[in-house]
Amino acid sequence: MRWKMETVAATVLLTGHWGGSAAQASAGVTPDPALAAQVEKRLRDANFDSLGVTVNAGIADLTGTVDRLSKVERAVEIARKTKGLAGVKNDITVASEQTDEQIAQAITHEIRMYPFYDIFDWVQGEVKNGVVTLSGQVRLPQRKNDYGNLASRVRGVKMVQNELEVLPLSGFDDQIRLRLARAIYGTAAIGTRYGFQAQPPIHIIVKDGNVTLRGVVANQFDKQLVESRARTVGLYFSLDDQLKLAAA
């Protein structure tokens, strides 16, 4: 299921080891039920009643089922804080009745509600069997992480592959962004219909002086108008108009 954000996180593995070594975990050492009980209490106190714990050679093996990736990450984080543990092995399963389409819709909603998602970022993605791949361009590294974290909190998400590109910091690019925003949204025919939306749908992506227009407009006339206004700026090196029509 693919989706695109028309208005307007690091990759996390579902299983793996944190600290210690796989060899230690599989060495067949006598279990440590007392330490396992401490980890279980921590998890129960955080409302992770469905998870089980065994401890061998200081490695806690977490098992059970949750409904989203962020809960896996949280359970591992809680377990790691137990004194005496050398590491955590994550064998937690993510299971949910959510379809890929429902997951995509929920992620779209979460990103639209993110207060710093603006016309200079572009996020789109794909969901396949609960695995989310984010793509597009963002201006700041922390936003890339934030979008990945937003996706991980959606019910049914098993893994997030965050392929968002962080655009280079550039005062020249920032000048282009501001001039294009004024030229496009400062035009009455555009600004009165698109600029006052909660999430303006025309996005301006600038990289090394090159511009890409992304998003959705109502009709071909608006598409041509936006591009013509952008071309009046004349400060950039190239312009790629990838605006889509709402009916397309």
Number of domains the chain is built from: 3
- Yes or no: say if 75 and 62 are a contact pair by the CB < 8 Å rule: yes
Three-state DSSP at 75 gives helix
Return mean pLDDT, the chain: 89
pLDDT at position 5: 53
List pLDDT tens digits, range 95-140: 999 999 999 999 999 999 999 999 999 999 999 999 999 999 999 9
- pLDDT at residue 248 tops 60: no
| Single residue among 71, 94, 117 that ends a domain in this structure | 94
Average pLDDT over residues 212-225: 96
pLDDT at position 186: 95
Measured between alpha carbons, how far is 214 from 240 in angstroms, rounded to an integer? Answer: 9
Q: Which domain holds residue 181?
A: 171-245
Q: Say whether both 238 and 191 belong to one domain.
A: yes
| Single residue among 74, 94, 114 that ends a domain in this structure | 94
- pLDDT at residue 11 tops 80: no
Q: Say whether both 128 and 78 belong to one domain.
A: no
Question: Domain with 49 in it: what CATH number?
Answer: 3.30.1340.30
Residue with tokens 């896996």: 72
Q: Say whether both 80 and 133 belong to one domain.
A: no
Measured between alpha carbons, how far is 32 from 38 in angstroms, rounded to an integer? Answer: 10
- pLDDT at residue 216 tops 80: yes
List pLDDT tens digits, range 151-194: 999 999 999 999 999 999 999 999 999 999 999 999 999 999 99
**Residue 25 — very low, low, confident or very high, per pLDDT cuts 50/70/90?**
very low
Where would I find the H helices in the chain? 22-25, 33-45, 69-80, 100-113, 141-152, 171-185, 188-190, 220-231
**Residue 215 — very low, low, confident or very high, per pLDDT cuts 50/70/90?**
very high
Q: Say whether both 202 and 215 belong to one domain.
A: yes
Q: Say whether both 6 and 112 belong to one domain.
A: yes
Q: Say whether both 82 and 46 belong to one domain.
A: yes
